Structure 1
Amino acid sequence: MKTKAPPPIAHLAGRATLPLIEAYLEFNHLKQLYRQGWLRVGVPADRCESVGEHSLGVALLCLFIAESWFPEADAFKVVRIALLHDLGEARVGDITPHDGVDHAQKHALERRAVEQILGKLPRGAEYLALWDEYEQGSSFEARLVRQVDRLEMGLQACVYEHQGMGDLSQFFASAQNVMETPQLRALFEELQTLRPPTR
């Protein structure tokens, strides 16, 4: 798994500290962890986004989309889920479909990681329940975050195509498959029109 630097939690070297500091050093690794799918298609490391950058993009999009287009959604819950959805990758890395890890195994690895990171915090069980909700797609809010997660990937693919990273159609196809709501389907169709004409 390619990263910018080793996990910051290693700096503790077994020393005890406050739970919030320990949790921060765990999730800080998302800033060091490249989104592996972009590296796989040739985006150079110096231009490749981190999982932390992706998660910020998802959270901001979720805020804007939930509050503007989905008044029936609990926007606070949507943003909370968005902030938590990639947390397990701080320990297990950004496992992609090309890594040969089946969905059940990936879920088990990430859930254990999230449980260990959040278990340090006073409201850890509540946060873990939100992460589970996302994984299970058991609420409208969780399913909305899943769609926005892929939308953000499509937006980033469009940026990379304009920066000369080649034809990233596979990422658009993957994103299009999960767009359920008419509003996000329309937004995604508009995004498609913004791609560079020669790919």
Structure 2
Amino acid sequence: MRTKASPPISHLSGKAALPLIEAYFEFNHLKQLYRQGWLRVGISPERCESVAEHSLGVALLCLFIADSWFPEADASKVVRIALLHDLGEARVGDITPHDGVNPTQKHALERQAVAQILGKLPRGAEYLALWEEYEQGASFEAKLVRQVDRLEMSLQACVYEHQGFGDLSQFFASAEKVMESPQLRAVLTELQALRPPRAAAP
């Protein structure tokens, strides 16, 4: 698992710290952790986004999308889920389908990691429940975040294509598989039309 640096939490080993500080040193690793799928297709480490950057993109898109297009959604809940959805990667890394880890095992590893990180906080159980809700797709808000997660990936793929990193069609195809909302499908369709001609060619 390629990272920019080792997990910051290691610097607190053997030291007493407030739960909030410990939690920060845990999730700070998301800033060090490359999105492994981009590295796999040749995005250079210097240009490769971190998991934290992806999570910020998802959270902002969720805010804008929930507020603008889905009045029936609890926008605050959507954003909270978006902020938490990749938290387990701070401990287990960015496991991709190419890593050969089955989904059940991946879920178990990430759930344990999220429980350990959030267990330090007074409302940790509440946050863990939101993370689990996302994993299970147990609410309208969770399903919306799952779609926006893939939409953000497609948007980033389009940016990388314009920066000269070649045809990233596989990421658009991955997004297509989970896009249920007509509004979000329309965004993805428009995004496809904005891809560089060489990358978008069949």
Same fold judged by TM-score > 0.5?
A: yes
How far residue 133 of structure 1 moved from its aligned partner, in angstroms, is 0.2
Cα distance in 2 between the residues matched to 1:84 and 1:99: 22
How far residue 127 of structure 1 moved from its aligned partner, in angstroms, is 0.2
Cα distance in 2 between the residues matched to 1:174 and 1:131: 22
How far residue 16 of structure 1 moved from its aligned partner, in angstroms, is 1.5
Q: Which residue of 1 aligns with 2:58?
A: 58
Q: Which residue of 2 aligns with 1:115?
A: 115
Q: Which residue of 2 aligns with 1:103?
A: 103
Q: Which residue of 1 aligns with 2:153?
A: 153
Cα distance in 1 between the residues matched to 2:24 and 2:157: 29
Cα distance in 2 between the residues matched to 1:161 and 1:187: 17
Amino acid at match of 2:81: I
Cα distance in 1 between the residues matched to 2:104 and 2:16: 33
Amino acid at match of 1:57: G
Q: Which residue of 1 aligns with 2:80?
A: 80
Cα distance in 1 between the residues matched to 2:131 and 2:106: 14
Is structure 2 residue 167 aligned with structure 1 residue 167?
yes
**What is the aligned-residue RMSD (CA, Å)?**
0.4
Give me the TM-score of the superposition, normalised by structure 1: 0.99
Cα distance in 2 between the residues matched to 1:144 and 1:165: 29
Cα distance in 2 between the residues matched to 1:40 and 1:87: 22
Cα distance in 2 between the residues matched to 1:37 and 1:144: 22
1:121-156 CA distance string (max 9 Å, x none): 000000000000000000000000000000000000
How far residue 14 of structure 1 moved from its aligned partner, in angstroms, is 2.1
Cα distance in 1 between the residues matched to 2:198 and 2:138: 40
Gaps of 5+ in 1: none
Provide the identity percentage.
Answer: 83
**The residue matched to 1:154 in structure 2 has which SS?**
helix
Gaps of 5+ in 2: none
Give me the TM-score of the superposition, normalised by structure 2: 0.98
